[in-house]
Structure 1
Amino acid sequence: MSKHPAVVPVITIDGPTASGKGTIAHRVAQQLGWHTLDSGALYRLTALAVQQQGVDAFDELAVAQVALRLDVGFQGEQVLLSGQDVAALIRQESVGNLASKVAAYAPLRQALLERQRAFRVAPGLVADGRDMGTVVFPDAPLKVFLVADVQARAERRCKQLKEKGFSANLTGLLEDMRARDERDRNRANAPLVAAHDAKTVDSSCLSIDETVKQVLDLWSEACKKV
C-alpha cells in the first residue's frame, strides 16, 4: 500500500536559473531511489505550448488554460508534450525567458500547483524549482537553496547549450540571466527566496559530485532529527 502523500519524504532544491538544480536533483534521487520533479519543465512546457498555439502570452487566464490542458509525460530523458519529445526544445533560451515571464502569473501557478504535488509518491521525491520549499512542499523535511555566482552559472549554461548543438553567446546569456534573476526575485507571486528553514549550498566552486554529497549529508543529518 502506498504511503499517504503527507508522510512521503521530500527534498526540495530551489535556486536561480542554471544553478544546477535539475542535475543535482536527479543525482540525489538516483542515490536514494526516489522520484524527481523538474517543476521548471512544467513552466517551460507551458511556455512552449503558448508559442506553438499562438496564445497571447500577456493574457494570464489564457496561459493558465494552456497549462490545465497540457498533455505531459516524463520518460527517462524524454519530456513528452502531446506525445512528442520536446526535451531539447524546452531548453531553448526563448522558451526559458518566456517561462520566466509567465511564471509570475498567479492563475498559472495555481493551475500547476496540484499537478506538482501529485508527484509526491513513495518512496520519496526530490523536487527542484524556485518555490518548491516555500509554496509547493512547505512541510518538506529538507529544503536546499542552491546558489552559484551568476558568471559561473552563465558559463555552465553556455557550455550546456553548445554541447546540445545550440548557438550560445556568453555575454548575452549573462545579461539574460541577470534579468531573469531580477524578475524571479521581485515577482509578486512566489518570488525566488530561500525558505526560512532552508540550507544554503553554494555550488560556484563545487563539482557535481561534491554538491550531491553535500545534499546527501544534509539529508542524513535531517533523518537523525526525525
Structure 2
Amino acid sequence: MKKISIAVDGPSAAGKSSIAKIVAKRLDYIYIDTGAMYRCVGYYCLENNIDLKDEQAVSQALKQIKIEMDSNNHIFLNGQDVSQVIRQDQVSMSASVVSSYQVVRTFLVEQQRQMANVGGVILDGRDIGTVVLPNAELKIYQIASVDTRAKRRYLENQERGLTADLELIKKDIEQRDYQDMNRDISPLKQAEDAIVLDTSAMTLQEVVDAVLKLVEEKIKEV
C-alpha cells in the first residue's frame, strides 16, 4: 500500500499527539512530535535560567541543543529522556514563547523536514500543513472546545502525577490559543486544503477510526 505524508494541526490539548501516535502505529508510519521539539527548547531555557523574552539568548541556546526521538515515542534532549517532564504546563507556555522566534522555527522546521523526507510519516503541530509540509497529501485540522481540551489535559496531568488544577489549565489553554493564533511568525491557522475534525464529542477510538478512514480515502486518490 502506498504511504503518504500526513499533517495534523490544531490548538493546544486538542488530542493531536495522542491520535497521531496511535494512527502511526496502526499504519506502521513514523510519528514526529514537532510540539515536543519546541517544548525541548523551552525546557532547556527554563532549566538553564535563560530569559525567554531575550531572543538573542534563546538563539544562542540552540547551539547547545540536540533533540532525538526513538521508535517508542521517547524524546531525548542532549541525551536525557525528557518525555514526561516537557509536558508540564510551565513548559507548555515556554514553548509557545520560543516558537514565536523565527530563528527557533527555522532551526526546528529544517529538522522536521529532514525527518519527513522518508515518506510514510505523520506530524502534528501548529503549522505543519501551512509551513513545514505544505505539500502533505493529507492535512487534518483537529479542534475541540476549550472545556473539552481542559478536561483532557487535567486527566493527562493526573495520570502523569503532575499538578492538576482544572481552572488554571483552562486559563493556560485560552492564553496559549491567543498566543498561537496571533503571533507574527507562522501563526496557528487552518490550511486551505485541510479537513476539519471536531473531536469535542468523540471518543479516542472514534477519532482514530475517522483519521484512518481519511487516510484510506486519500490513498485511493493519489
Calculate the TM-score normalised by the size of structure 2: 0.94
**What is the match of residue 72 of structure 1?**
67
- The 1-side partners of 2:55 and 2:169 are apart by 26
Q: Counterpart amino acid of 2:183? A: R
1:133 to 129, 135, 139: 129
- The 2-side partners of 1:164 and 1:15 are apart by 23
**What is the match of residue 175 of structure 2?**
179
Q: Counterpart amino acid of 2:158? A: K
Q: Counterpart amino acid of 2:97? A: K
Are 1:25 and 2:20 matched, yes or no? Answer: yes
**What is the match of residue 184 of structure 2?**
188
Runs of 4+ aligned residues of structure 1 deviating over 4 Å after TM superposition are none
Q: Any conservation in 2 of the 1:18–1:156 contact (CA below 8 Å)?
A: yes
**What is the match of residue 49 of structure 2?**
54
**What is the match of residue 3 of structure 1?**
none
Deviations 1:43-73 (A, max 9, x none): 0000011112222211213213323431222
**What is the match of residue 4 of structure 1?**
none
2:120 to 99, 117, 124: 124
Aligned-residue CA RMSD (Å): 1.5
Q: Counterpart amino acid of 2:103? A: P
1:12 to 3, 7, 10: 7
The Cα shift of 1:78 comes to: 2.4
**What is the match of residue 223 of structure 1?**
219
**Secondary structure, aligned partner of 1:118:** helix
- The 1-side partners of 2:74 and 2:63 are apart by 21
Percent identity over paired residues: 39
**What is the match of residue 87 of structure 1?**
83
**Secondary structure, aligned partner of 1:193:** coil
**What is the match of residue 41 of structure 1?**
36
**What is the match of residue 152 of structure 1?**
148
Deviations 1:150-183 (A, max 9, x none): 1000000001001111111101111111111011
**What is the match of residue 160 of structure 2?**
164
- The 2-side partners of 1:177 and 1:192 are apart by 14
1:108 to 104, 110, 130: 104
Q: Any conservation in 1 of the 2:3–2:219 contact (CA below 8 Å)?
A: no
Q: Any conservation in 2 of the 1:8–1:121 contact (CA below 8 Å)?
A: no
Q: Structure 2 vs 1, CA of residues 140 and 55 (structure 1 numbering), >3 Å: closer, same or farther?
A: same
- The 2-side partners of 1:198 and 1:119 are apart by 22
Q: Structure 2 vs 1, CA of residues 223 and 32 (structure 1 numbering), >3 Å: closer, same or farther?
A: same
How many residues align structurally?
220
* Structure 1, gaps ≥5 residues long: 1-6
Q: Counterpart amino acid of 1:96? A: S
Deviations 1:128-147 (A, max 9, x none): 00000000000000000000
